[in-house]
Every structure is written in structure tokens, then in C-alpha cells.
Amino acid sequence: MPILIFAHSNRPDSLKQYYLHPVRVVAEGEKASISPIMRVINPPNSTPVSEALQYSPGLSITYGSRDESNLRIRGFRKNEVLILLDGRPLNSGYFGNVDLSKILSDDVAEIRIIKGPASALYGSGTMGGVVNIVTQHKEHVISLENSLSRNLTNSQRISSALSWKDFRYQASLTREEKRPFALAAGFEPTVFENGKLRNHSYQSSWHLNLKFGHILNRLHDMELSGGYSWIPYKEIPSSIYSRDYRVYRDWYRASTSYAGDFATSINTNIKGQIYLDAAGDTFERYLDEAHEDLILSSRMESINLGLTPTFEYHGQGTLTTGTRMEYRTVKRKDTGNYLDWTSNHAVAGSLFGQYESYLTDRLSYAISAGLAFFTHSQNSELKFFPEPSAGIYYSCSDGSTISFSAGYNSALPTMRQLFSADHGNPSLKTSQALKFELNHQQTLLHSLFTDLSLYYNDVQDLIDLVAERYENIYQVKSFGGELTVGAIPLSFWELSAAYSYLDYSGDYQLSDSPPHKLELLNNFTLPLNTRLELKSIWCSRRNSQDSISQFHALPAYHTHDISISHNWHDILLSIGIQNIFDHNYQSEYGYPAKGRDYLIKIRYTLD
């Protein structure tokens, strides 16, 4: 079962439980990351990352016009959030965002989330925050999993992970099938949605992941990894207020990377990655359910090549320097404005340096500086922009910690915003935000934990459509806070509650980001290796933007989930109910969420 840890203490022994080799991580703790890190620990295998993040304060996960997950952190949009897998950026492609519903949490140790100012070590594109998905090597000869739900979603997974002397390998293959899901009983049918099973929402997918690692001379760690996801056919459900039949054909995402951590002396090491991502899909729109009246057929192909060398020196403090370089290319052909293959490319990167040290036994600091840049095929001018950040951290005598961080983070224009034949603008600048965060963590009586964050963001040159063209037109100031309380009322009961508040001012209106959100998690350890988990969310009234940029007010809603799991020797059995009370609500305007769902999962593991 996933465990949510909302922040992370700076005490020296606080990383031991979750230690991973540095080759897989860009930054380790709060000082390296500048802002506090929130962690989601051990999400279940075969669960989309988007679902694993649902119960995270300050985050909003919705599903919209292309049936993809839309992640917003403290109101920032999905293409403004940097998504990493073991430190490797995933924000390539035409739209610049990552669909977390298509990334399964296979062998994930934890998901690390930075919501405040981000270190320059992560490179550019961190204006909206950072999500780093960190995998683990958990040895087993073979593991077989099967999941099935009432909403006709089922998956099968086989995996293996072993090591021999200084070598290790890890492999998994997952098949997933999703059929039209049941809407809530209270859903009111429209002309375009009958209210039974969600119309036009079938997909099948395959996911393959491979890793091979080697430790040389017990000092140097190297890892070669690769992955391939394929969706041969996917139906995209349309808004319940319009008739629009869309499909993906031959959707794929492929990646490979080589990472290394080389100890060059007692105090120095060099690490980094070289990676290649490729993606492609055919997007089609029809006027009829039989898919005979074709409006548009568009084929998109993209490639992203990156390099991230980093040098570290460990003396009285830690000095880290390096660079991130990416070459992005996309080509498109369709039955509209791109009758012939049209290609464009962009080059983005940054030079960075950071120093972390202690002023006293209780007071430490980190200073980070980055010089980011980008250029592209329709404007050869090389544009530079600075990204400084800093944090100060104090450990109190009562065990509490206080941190304050500030930084200047950016979001690059996406390939769509730059090159779209309909709306593109090759002269776009980066969007930038001056961000501040104050955090306080307190442990009381060894069984009560509190985490309070207050933040303020000042965003300039925000990119959006105006008169059918993307422009740097908006300014917005957002501010709010998040309070998390964790407790162990009884030896078998773990409880956490989190409240999020978000407000803003300026000439831009935040969409699908609730001003108030409350989350409650209960974990019970029962006899006979059995665990019971209860989850609840309350989300306040919020605004949601439709396809023609009109805003609508969506009512507040609440959902409740329950699951129970039992370990018996090598077998894990889990059953659960999602949306217990069958609450009817819209994820985004025109896109209803699932009704009540029943799930069962069985896993066999041979160690």
C-alpha cells in the first residue's frame, strides 16, 4: 500500500530508510533541492502515477480533452511542471507535458515532489515544480500480478529482478486494458452522453521496462535502462456537452539511458546521464461513432536527446557544478495545415552550480545559480535567462526544523506554442516566477508530526492564447498554505490529514485548481498480516475552462475509498472499493469522473 510522507526532516539519519544510490537521483535532501520534498512512498505496481499522487496536498489531478492526466501544482499548469524518472527529464514532445496516467508505478520506491523554489541542479522548466519518480531494485526471482475492477479495467504484470556479484538486472512486462467505465448513479444524461457506461473510452496498452547495472571495483556504479510503451488503439471520450469522436492509433513512447556515478577521489565524483526519448502517435477526429466521417488525421513524431554531466566536491560543504543539454525535434503531417512532413527543432540547456554548507551545528544553507538558454529552428537567436535560488535551514533544540527558500524558476515555451500553424509564435519568451516558501516541521511526543508550508509566487510573461496566437501576456500572483498533521493514535493505527489553501490575483484565472482541499488517510495494521486503508478527499468549488476558453464553476465534491490487503506466504491479495458513495462530479468541465468501482488484485512473488 502507498504511504504518503508530506515533508522530510533535515536530521542526519532521516534518509537512511529511503537510501538509493546517487546515480539515480538529481538531488538528495532539502538543501540540495532548495525547497522541502514531499514523498509518496511505495505506490502499488501497475498503478498509474497520476492515481498515486491523488492524495498529495497542493496537487490537483484531473482528466480532460485528450483523456490524459493534467497535473497542477499550486495552480501551475501541467506543461510548467518538470517530470523526471530517476533524474531523467520526460517533458519532451509537441505539447511539453507528461501524461502521468500512462506511466505505471512499476518498481517505484518513492515519488518526490518539490512545490516551492527548485534548485538549478534540475535545469530549466521547473517554474511549476518538480516530480521525480525514483525506482528501486527489489530482488525477486519472479512476480506475477493480476488486477481487475468492476469498471472493466484489468492488468497483468510479470517481473524479475536479481543480482549476481557486481551485476544486476531488472525486467517487467505489463499489459493493461481499459473499457468504458461506469458513471455515478446520480449522473444526469445529456444529448451526447447516455449516463450508463462512459461513451467511447476503450484502450489496450503494453509496457516493457529493462535495466542492467554494474558496479566496477566497488566504486563506480553504471546502469543501462530502456523502456517501451505501446497503445495500438485508444478511444478518447469527448465532453458530455459535445459530439466529437477521437482516437489514437499506434501510440508509442520509447526511451533509453545510460547513467553513471564515478568516484574520482575520496572527496570528488562525476555522475550523469545520456538519454534518448522517442514518441509517436496518430490522432484522428470523426463526426460519427462508426469512424467513417473523418475530420482530421495527424501523425506526430518526436525525439529528445539529452546529456547531464555533473561534478561533485565534498569538503566542509558540498559543491556541485554541471550542465544539462537537450536537443528536441518534432515532425508532423496531417490532412489540415501539414500536408507534407514539417519538422522543427529546439535546443535547451543550462549551466549550474550549487554550494551547501553549515554555518553552525543547527544552521545550514544552500546557494544555487543557473544560466539557462534556448534557441530553435525558427529563431536562431540564443536567449539566456538566469535562475538563482537559495535556502536556509534551522534545526531547533526541540527537534523541529524551519526552512525558508526563494528562487527564480522558468518555463520554456512548448513546441506547440512555438511552431503550431494555427497559433504558434516563434518569438515567445520564457515564463518566469519568483517563488518563496516558508516551512516548519515539528515532531511531538514521537507520535504526532506537523508540517506547515506558506508560499507566494509572482509569475511574469505567462503564455496563453490571445486572438488565436500564443503570447506572453499574463501576470498572476498566487499564494497559500498547506498544513499536514500525522499521528499514531494507537500502535496499529496511522493517521494523516492535510489541508491546502490556494488564492491568486492578477489578469489570469487559474483553472481546475480548488481554493480549498482536504485529504484524510487512515492505515490500520490488523492481525494475520492484514492491512486496512481508508482514504477521503474533499475538494471545494472551483473554476474550469472549456474548449472555447469559457470558465464554468464546478460544485464541491467528496470521495472515499477503502481497501484491505492480506499477505499469505508469497501471495498478496487486495480488494477495494473506490468512490464508495458513488458521488457524481466532473473532473474538468464536461468530463465526469468514475462512479463506484470495485477492485481486486492478486500478486505472487518468488524470492
pLDDT over 90, % of the chain = 68
- CA Rg, the chain, in Å? 24
Q: CA 236, CA 284: separation in Å to the nearest integer?
A: 10
Contact (CB, 8 A) for 228 and 252: yes
Q: What are phi and psi of 155, to 5 degrees?
A: -145, 150
β-pair partners for 82: 130
pLDDT at 14: 29
Q: What is the pLDDT of residue 9?
A: 35
Instruction: Report the DSSP pairing between strands 294-307 and 318-334.
Output: antiparallel
pTM score: 0.91
Nine-digit cell at 323? 550542465
AA letter at 581? F
What is the pLDDT, as a whole number, of residue 15?
A: 27
What digits encode the pLDDT tens for the residues 392-428?
A: 999 998 889 999 999 999 999 999 999 999 899 999 9
Please classify residue 470 by burial: count the beta carbons closer than 10 Å to its beta carbon, then call 0-12 exposed, 13-18 middle and 19+ buried: buried
pLDDT at 301 over 90: yes
- Per DSSP (E only), the strands in 387-541 are 389-395, 401-411, 431-444, 448-466, 469-490, 493-506, 516-526, 530-539
Distance CA 256, CA 189 (A): 45
Which of 577, 602, 597 has the alpha carbon at shortest distance from 153? 597
- Say if residues 502 and 515 touch (Cβ distance below 8 Å): yes
Task: Give tens-digit pLDDT for 561-581.
Answer: 999 999 888 888 999 999 999
Q: Which of 404, 462, 456 is nearest to 435 (CA)?
A: 456
Residue type, 143: S
Residue 371 pLDDT exceeds 50: yes
Residue 27 has a pLDDT of 62
- Greatest distance between any 2 Cα atoms in the chain: 72
- What confidence tier does 26 reach under pLDDT thresholds 50, 70, 90? low
The DSSP 8-state label assigned to residue 468 in this structure reads T
pLDDT at 1 over 90: no
Q: What is the reported pLDDT for 153?
A: 75
Q: How far is CA 527 from CA 269, 492, 531, 532, 576, in A?
A: 47, 10, 8, 11, 18
Q: How many CB atoms lie within 10 A of CB 553?
A: 9
pLDDT tens digits along 5-24: 434 433 332 222 222 333 44
Residue 460 pLDDT: 96
Give the DSSP H or E segment for 321.
strand 318-334
Cell numbers 464541491: residue: 556
CB neighbourhood size of 352 (10 A) = 23
Phi, psi of 280 (to 5 degrees): -165, 150
In DSSP notation, 538-606 reads EE--EEEE-TTS-EEEEPPEEEEEEEEEEEETTEEEEEEEESTT----EEETTEEPP--EEEEEEEEEE
pLDDT digits (tens, 9 = 90+) for 455-468: 999 999 999 988 88
Q: Measure the CA–CA gap between 343 and 330, rounded to whole angstroms.
A: 6
Q: 399 vs 116, 242, 361, CA distance in Å? A: 23, 56, 13
Give the mean pLDDT of 123-148.
89
Calculate the average pLDDT of the chain: 89
**Strand, helix or coil for residue 50:** helix
Read off the pLDDT of each residue in 531-558 and give the average, rounded to a whole number. 93
Spatial separation of the C-alpha atoms in residues 127 and 130, rounded to whole Å: 8
The confidence score (pLDDT) of residue 18 equals 26
| Residue in 456, 437, 451 with CA at minimum distance from that of residue 499 | 451
Cα 220 to Cα 88, 166, 264, 323, 525: the distances in Å are: 19, 10, 9, 21, 40
Give me the pLDDT at residue 10, please. 35
pLDDT on residue 569: 82
